[in-house]
Structure 1
Amino acid sequence: MRQLLKCLALFFLTAGSFCLHAQSAKPRLVEYLPNYKGLAWSSYASSINFTKMTHMNLAFGNPPKCSGVCTAASDMTFSIKGQTDADVDAAITAAHAAGVKVVLSIGGGGGDQLILQFYNAGLSQQLTDSLDRYVQAHKIDGIDVDIEDPSNMGAPFLTFVNTLVAKFRPQGKLITAAVAQYLQGSMPSAALHQFDFINVMVYSSLAASNTALQYYLNECHVPKDQIVLGVPFFGSTAGDDKEEDYKTIFGAYPNAWRVDLAGGGLLDDGKAFHYASEETMKQETLLGRQYGGIMVWEMMGDAPAPHSLLSVILNNL
């Protein structure tokens, strides 16, 4: 009998250890759904490939710009520009049906001014209460903080993050962030370590991706499985003065999937675009798999089969 109990104990210990390992080893696949492509999400929802996707980030939800100085009486109602409530709900319903968590990304390049105008005015609580009403109305699973203005990421930013955590974490909602090395010197460490995981924006090369992941692991001391590598479904010029979707680049240069640089043709007067080829995307996916997974900016930028970058990710994640 004693031997049987010992065997059972060993079995459950081993099984439990396996389950924990299996759960922690599963990489995330976070994909951003943008609002600026002129396409209603209700129409697009049925074409989304949810295979292996774990999180769909709606980009971006923001309040209006204040008329003059922001006060507690200012309009803080959140919305996603260009999408109706029905459009938003259609995308969320499709994601939830596939078992995917839906996260509202707030701020964004330029849009971050609509967030920081309130927290810089000491209105973090009021803004968070308004955000909570939007989250509850649309059954959203979490918030992704995307502030990309290093001059506005000090103590008021920390207060805002703390307020978000106090409001949403007891509800079981996720609090994540889009981060980058060039921003990190301005973000309080106490804010960085509040997030459930971070999406690292590094879209230039495999070497830069490795450097950024090592930075967050070794210098910022973020747990490895909480660091998600961002990869691009777009290309940019050397001076970052122009961007094009990967599908647009591929349409202009049919062999673009082979290399990381294309140009000299009719697209944008022959400008050369740097992007991730299929082989580079494979290597970046394998790198992200060693950490917390892969984040895609953004899902509408992919090329069609047989040269879909998402297919490369799915085959290697």
Structure 2
Amino acid sequence: MLVGYLPCYEGGNFASYSSKLDFTKMTHLNLAFGNPPKCDGVCTAKSNMDFGIKGESDADVDSFVTAAHAAGVKVLISIGGGGGDQLILQFYNAGLSDALVASLDKYVIAHKLDGVDVDIEDPSNMGAPFGVFVKTVVDKFRPRGLLITAAVAKYMQDSMPDSALHQFDFINVMNYASYAGALTQMEFYSINKKVPKNEIVLGVPFFGSNTSDTKEEDYATILAAYPNAWKVDMVGGGLMDDGQAFNYVGEDTMAKETLLGKQYGGIMIWQLLSDAPAPHSLLKVIQKNF
């Protein structure tokens, strides 16, 4: 599988991206992020649970889904997201999983989506309520043949019930660091968590983080500031961000990680819009080695 996340906050819209994205070898695209509104106070059964993707009209979403389907690519709505996960857990912590999933189902049906990607990244708000929510999602969508996937990482697994982890069709492992880290995380899920290897997808970054992990820059921005950045996995000392050092995945490491992902379920990209143009596109490196 080759899974790409497509965010809604890069200055364009999904309709315009549909004519620009390279769908070559892509199998799944996750629209990030779809969420309900924040409750005004305590969430109740009367709270607004209507899902939407911020800044995207229904027509934008439909246009993109049509183009992706024409290319043979499945499209999922990714719910939650870093920070946005609070908009999901506010409901399941209030015991409102059934009502929330019913609302999610309306959105999935309306836009002819192929499933749901659960992106809850807050370990302090998982536990039993998260497990109930995942089961509710599975019970709603799996009988209709729709996909249920998740973005996961080793740091959250002590809080995520194993019963929930093993209900996903496949998991996208958020390893946005080194190749050594990728090896560790993939073995953790296959050996420690006993997830079948073909259901574990290796996440790779199209961005870099500074050494204190307090700032991120798109790979395209890094390459523009350091034209030879594609040769290595760390740059610094230039004009970008006062010369801070940034770690990322350059071309050689991306090729190695792609080959590693092929030994499992494939590769996931966060996120497609951060890539650099040819001749140093990381997506092209993945496609070449996939």
| Band the TM-score falls in, shorter-chain normalisation | over 0.9
**Cα distance, 1:247 vs. partner?**
0.3
Q: 2:12 aligns with which of 18, 35, 39?
A: 39
Q: 1:121 aligns with which of 83, 87, 94?
A: 94
**Cα distance, 1:263 vs. partner?**
1.3
Q: 2:200 aligns with which of 214, 217, 227?
A: 227
Residues 197-253 of structure 1, C-alpha deviations (whole Å, 9 max, x = no match): 000001100000000000000000000000000000000001111100000000000
Q: Determine the C-alpha separation between the residues in 1 that align with 2:69 and 2:276.
A: 25
Specify the structure having the higher radius of gyration (Cα): 1
Aligned partner of residue 139 in structure 2, secondary structure: helix
1:56 maps onto 2:29 in alignment: yes
Count of residue pairs brought into register by the alignment = 290
Amino acid corresponding to residue 37 of structure 1 in structure 2: E
More helix by proportion, 1 or 2?
1
Alignment of 1:23-102 (within 5 A): 28-102=1-75
Q: Determine the C-alpha separation between the residues in 1 that align with 2:98 and 2:253.
A: 43
What does residue 158 of structure 1 align with?
131
What does residue 252 of structure 1 align with?
225
**Cα distance, 1:44 vs. partner?**
1.6
Residues 169-198 of structure 1, C-alpha deviations (whole Å, 9 max, x = no match): 011100000000000010000000000000
1:38·1:82 contact (CA, 8 Å) conserved in 2?
no
Aligned partner of residue 19 in structure 2, secondary structure: helix
Q: Determine the C-alpha separation between the residues in 1 that align with 2:17 and 2:125.
A: 35
1:107·1:146 contact (CA, 8 Å) conserved in 2?
yes
Aligned partner of residue 47 in structure 1, secondary structure: coil
Q: Determine the C-alpha separation between the residues in 1 that align with 2:252 and 2:117.
A: 29
Amino acid corresponding to residue 288 of structure 2 in structure 1: N
Q: Indicate the percent of aligned positions where both proteins have the same amino acid.
A: 69
**Cα distance, 1:76 vs. partner?**
0.1
Amino acid corresponding to residue 6 of structure 2 in structure 1: L
- TM-score after normalising by structure 2: 0.99
What RMSD over aligned residues (CA atoms) do the two structures have, in Å?
Answer: 0.5
Q: Determine the C-alpha separation between the residues in 1 that align with 2:126 and 2:9.
A: 25
Structure 1 residue ranges (4+ consecutive) displaced by more than 4 angstroms after TM superposition? none
1:128·1:164 contact (CA, 8 Å) conserved in 2?
yes
Return 5+ residue gaps in structure 1 as ranges.
1-27
What does residue 189 of structure 1 align with?
162
1:199 maps onto 2:172 in alignment: yes
